Structure 1
Amino acid sequence: MSEDFYDVLGVSRDADEDEIKKAYRKKATEYHPDVSDDPNAEEKFKKVKKAKEVLTDEEKRSAYDRMGHDRFEQAEKRGGFDGGGGGQRGNPFGGGGGMGGGMGGFEDIFNNLFNGGGGGQRGNRPQKGADLRTRLTLDLEDAYEGVEKQVTVTRPEACPDCDGKGHPADADVETCPECNGQGQTTTVQQTPFGRMQQTQTCRRCGGDGELYSETCSTCGGDGQVRNEATLSVDIPAGIRDGQSLRMEREGAPGENGGPNGDLLIEIQITDHETLRREGDDLYVQLPISFPQAAFGATVDVETLDGTVEMDVPEGTQSGETFRLKGKGMPRLQRRGQGDLYVQVQVVTPESLNKEQKAALEQFAEAGGDEVEVKEGFFEKIKNSF
């Protein structure tokens, strides 16, 4: 499981709070130690919980986005966000008062939070590309067997003519006068803690620190173009409707040399003509005749793995359900399969020939449901059908 909090929850970096909470609930259910078979479930559950706590806290999320995962974790360990060492939340200098001695390592934390003094140019820092989403429709047979499918997506890609730079290689270049080549501009504010400076990416040069005489005619200076890509995706046996598959690094391109985002494929499974799915189990209704129900019979049942035989015992009532163990869906990432539940429905014939009518009239005259009829009479009815 990736350490990055966005990857842990499987959301894009611009996901809103509702998306984050929804993803958390799904992951928490998947990795809860009480229900998960994953040997590392407890560790993964803790990571999911930590990711949700950070990304649903506006202050912490802002800091996390600015600092990156490793620096954020270091800052938390040093007490920068949870009031460690006697400090109050939101005051990275602690409760000792002011900006005087004892500030210790908090100066670095503060600079990281606001990209201040020597914190680096945010615009030039490698950033992971955005995650993309698409849907793939399967039938129940595909979900049962596990197959390889192709999915076509339209996605941004690095412009091939300018290599993602947004300008021709031979374009004239000059230093940005707005930021003096720094790629960032700095503003100073007076706060109760003293003068604080905040650094932002330069709006004129976009953080490059340079301006170019030409823009790429292919991408218009964006550095990206949109192309169709056809990808092969392996569908695991037993996948359920609504689940998503992640194809790493198949999303939007990163910035400043950062890695591509991921492609998330949401699975939709169409309804089957006769079978109904609940979890890993399947359900089907099977019509049988009155003689089959009365005398018992061996009937054929269609499953996703071919036809199997099932014994219907003598005296079976309409609506009774029988279980065929192991004839359901494969258990995703686990051993074994679910079961197939067969509900029999005794079909009353809509029309009878003379022999059939005579046999039933004989049955009715003999006392109907309340009379105990000899086996020879049932054989006569059975033969008449």
Structure 2
Amino acid sequence: MSEDFYDILGVSRDADQDEIKSAYREKATDYHPDVSDDPNAEEKFKKLQKAKEVLTDEEKRQAYDQMGHERFEQAQKRGGFDGGPGGAGAGGMGGQGPFGGMGGQGGMGDIFEQFFGGGGRGQRSNRPQKGQDLRTRLSITLEEAYEGVQKQVTVRRPERCDTCDGDGHPPGTDSRTCPECNGRGQVTQVQQTPLGRVQQTQTCRHCGGEGEIYDETCSDCAGDGVVDREATLSVEVPAGIQTGQTLQMEGEGAPGENRGPKGDLLIEIDVEDHPDFEREDDDLHHQHAISFPQATFGDTVAVPTLDGTVEMDVPAGTQSGETFRLQGKGMPRLRRRGHGDLYVQVQVVTPESLNDEQREALEQFAEAGGEEVDVEQGFFEKIKNTF
């Protein structure tokens, strides 16, 4: 197995983080000591781990690319990086992070400061990079969350300038070779360090990596290549979605750098409160009023749901505050089969006014002993739970 970290993982030198992690997972499965028949599996697995550790860390990877494999390994042995003598892993400069040690300086930023005079931190390659993700919010009703709905969202976002196609200058503009980089788009600096001569290559700031200087900038984007615009997009909101959940619209975010792909638009959902129903995950709760005779003699009552009215049997002797479950009458389960349940709590309503006939009937009921209440065990617990 090659010693070069890129060769160990089998990726190109401009591979992005997803490619590196995917390659590591695939090869780690082949060489894991617990499953591999290769007699050198343990050694190869350790190399894979080390390669992933370095190439998935932006600062370590930059140092590796600048120094090369051999000098990077030497730096580790001399204490410039973790795990070497005097490094954080060897007890010499513990607590300074993954790049402890090296001449009394702690941290990768200090190492770059020594090697590159402060130019190493935060430098990006000229490779295409994905644009920034954007966020917005969308309010919908409970009925819309029940059915699923197509909604329009309006966002203000940066977009590639149509006039110059993101170049920052009108088509056909006269240009000349950048004097700073001589048309290469990159500049190279060589410095003498304790490890020898170190070479640093970075994007030319004078021409932005194009290698050309243009005599005219685009009037619409002032040379930035992007403009702010308002965009109205159609989004499909699935049935069963809840407050706080996020929908992702790929490629609807900010434009990428160096012709990289656009970012995504993340839409956070807010489901409005409903006057008749209270939601709890996929279940709904509803309070339903019934009369004293209905509670006493039992009845069939019409109960509203988000899918229309259904009939519910109220048994004789129902107490105020009792709850009945209507299976499958709640919210649809997001991207799954079935629905939650609807829990109906009945409230017995005491009439505020009676006509003569009603009053007479109720007085007869009271005289017959109806005013006496048989307090069953647990009655007060029911009352407590109701309130």
Aligned to 1:358: 360
Partner of 1:158: 160
Find out whether 1:68 has 2:13 as its counterpart. Answer: no
Change in 2 beyond 3 A, CA 1:371/1:222: closer
1:209 CA drift (Å): 2.0
Q: Which amino acid aligns with 2:306?
A: L
Distance 1:96 1:132, change over 3 A: closer
Equivalent of residue 204 in structure 1, options 203, 206, 213: 206
1:342: which partner in 2?
344
Q: What is the rounded CA distance, in whole Å, between the counterparts of 2:306 and 2:320 in structure 1?
A: 24
Structure 1 residue 273, shift from structure 2 partner: 1.2
Contact 2:75–2:195 (CA<8 Å) still a contact in 1?
A: no
- Residues 71, 276 of structure 1: alpha-carbon distance in 2 compared, 3 angstrom cutoff: closer
Is the contact made by 1:282 and 1:328 (CA closer than 8 Å) also made in structure 2?
A: yes
CA distance in 2, matches of 1:155, 1:96: 45
Alignment-mate amino acid for residue 251 of structure 1:
G
Q: Report the Cα distance in structure 2 between the residues aligned to 1:186 and 1:95, rounded to whole angstroms.
A: 22
Task: Give the superposition deviation at 1:309.
Answer: 0.3
1:77 counterpart (30, 45, 48): 48
Greater Rg over alpha carbons, structure: 2
In structure 1, give the amino acid aligned to 2:169.
H
Match of 1:262 in 2: 264
Partner SS, residue 79 of structure 1? helix
CA displacement 1:6-62 (0-9 Å, x = unmatched): xxxxxxxxxxxxxxxxxxxxxxxxxxxxxxxxxxxxxxxxxxxxxxxxxxxxxxxxx
1:280 shift after superposition: 0.3
Q: 8 Å contact 1:123–1:208 — kept in the other structure?
A: no
Q: How far did residue 352 of structure 1 move?
A: 1.2
3-state DSSP class of the match of 2:50? coil
How far apart are residue 123 of structure 1 and its match?
5.4
Equivalent residue number for residue 185 of structure 2: 183
How far apart are residue 223 of structure 1 and its match?
0.7
Percent sequence identity is 67
Q: CA deviation at 1:184?
A: 2.7
2:44 maps to which residue?
A: none
CA contact (8 A) 1:122 1:200 kept: yes
Distance 1:174 1:143 in 2: 58
1:272/1:71 CA distance change after superposition, 3 Å: closer
Aligned to 1:3: none
Q: Is the 8 A contact 2:132 2:255 kept in 1?
A: yes
Q: TM-score, normalised by structure 1?
A: 0.67
Letter in 1 for 2:267: I
**SS of 2:276's equivalent?**
coil
- Please state how far the C-alpha of 1:293 moved relative to its aligned partner: 0.5
Quick one: distance in 1 between partners of 2:212 and 2:321?
77
Aligned-partner Cα distance in 1 for 2:130–2:209: 16
* Structure 1 residues 70 and 305: CA distance shift in structure 2, 3 A: closer
Once the two structures are TM-superposed, the CA of residue 96 in structure 1 deviates from its matched residue by 8.1
| Residues 108-123 of structure 1 mapped to structure 2, 5 A cutoff | none
**Aligned-pair CA distance for 1:334:** 0.8
Distance in 1 (alpha carbons) for counterparts of 2:299 and 2:193: 87
RMSD: 2.9
Q: CA deviation at 1:208?
A: 1.8
Matched residues, number? 284
Report the TM-score when normalising by structure 2. Answer: 0.67
1:163 touches 1:223 (CA, 8 Å); kept in 2? yes
Separation of aligned partners in 1, 2:193 and 2:356: 102
One-letter amino acid of the structure 2 residue matched with residue 151 of structure 1: V
Letter in 2 for 1:160: D
Flag the 1:198–1:214 CA change in 2: closer, same or farther, 3 A: same
Q: Which amino acid letter does the alignment assign opposite residue 272 of structure 1? A: H
Gaps of 5+ in 1: 1-65, 100-113, 373-385
Q: Taking structure 1 as reference, are residues 123 and 211 closer, same or farther at Cα in structure 2, changes over 3 Å only?
A: farther
Counterpart Cα distance in 2 of 1:282 and 1:358: 40
Q: Which stretch has the larger CA shift, 137-146 or 147-156?
A: 147-156
CA distance in 2, matches of 1:358, 1:188: 107
- Looking at structure 2, the residues matched to 347 and 269 of structure 1 have their Cα atoms a distance apart, in angstroms, of 31
Once the two structures are TM-superposed, the CA of residue 80 in structure 1 deviates from its matched residue by: 3.2
SS of 1:163's equivalent in the other structure is coil
CA contact (8 A) 1:329 1:338 kept: yes
